[in-house]
């Protein structure tokens, strides 16, 4: 079984994006029966899926898990759905890394309003909580780049009729980021890595 795991570069005022380190570390893991490939994506509405799509077409994964930073959350968030909108002003008003700041724009004018993940999200959350890792199911991936990549990936596999398991996981800030901002919720990178491995393994088994 093949798993494609993506993370993002840093953006806005964040000194780093822990998902960059996460995908580097998870690629070093030896998971039973799962081959892992990773991709680092730009924080750009119009280009993030372009890079991921190339990896999907060449690697042909059975599982695609995209990872992003949600610095104000204190738990691992397994996103339930992506919505067909890009709207920077609904989030912190931070343009993407090319300066693009769309408002009330659809991602695909012919696409459905929302597409649900087909990851076993409830089982993933249950496994994480069982391992004493704070986690929950989130019903909003926002309207920024994270939602954008989730929706576009789900929409692509839907159009192609693929059986690929696709989903998105939001991670809190890591401890290094909290040193710069002591009021920011955070988790150690080792805990987040453990959570990502559990999510991959749980998906592969279900």
What amino acid positions are annotated as catalytic residues? Answer: 79, 146, 170
User: Could you tell me which residues are beta bridge partners of residue 63?
Assistant: 3, 165
121 C-beta neighbours (distance < 10 Å), count: 23
Beta strands 76-79 and 165-171 are antiparallel
Q: Rounded CA gap, 49 and 153, in Å?
A: 7
Q: At what angle do helices 145-160 and 48-59 cross, to 10 degrees?
A: 40
Helix residue ranges per DSSP H, 27-144: 48-59, 121-130
Q: How far apart are the first and last CA of the chain?
A: 12
Both tokens of 22, joined, read 């996460």
Residues belonging to the chain: 206
Coil/strand/helix, residue 152: helix
The Cα-based distances of 19 to 8, 116, 157 in angstroms read: 6, 22, 23
């Amino acid at each position: 079984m093949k798993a494609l795991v993506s993370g993002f570069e840093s953006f806005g005022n964040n000194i780093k994006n822990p998902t960059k380190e996460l995908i580097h570390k998870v690629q070093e893991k030896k998971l039973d029966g799962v081959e892992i490939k990773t991709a680092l994506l730009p924080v750009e509405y119009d280009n993030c899926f372009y890079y991921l799509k190339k990896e999907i077409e060449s690697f042909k994964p059975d599982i695609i898990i995209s990872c992003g930073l949600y610095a104000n959350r204190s738990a691992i968030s397994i996103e339930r759905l992506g919505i067909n909108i890009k709207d920077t002003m609904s989030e912190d008003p931070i343009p993407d890394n090319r300066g693009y700041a769309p408002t009330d724009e659809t991602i695909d004018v012919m696409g459905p309003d929302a597409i649900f993940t087909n990851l076993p999200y409830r089982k993933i959350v249950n496994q994480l909580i069982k391992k004493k890792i704070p986690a929950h199911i989130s019903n909003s991936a926002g309207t920024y780049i994270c939602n954008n990549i989730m929706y576009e990936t789900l929409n692509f596999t839907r159009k192609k009729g693929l059986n690929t398991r696709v989903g998105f996981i939001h991670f809190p800030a890591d401890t290094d980021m909290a040193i710069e901002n002591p009021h920011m919720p955070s988790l150690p990178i080792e805990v987040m890595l453990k959570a990502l491995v559990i999510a991959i393994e749980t998906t592969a088994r279900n």
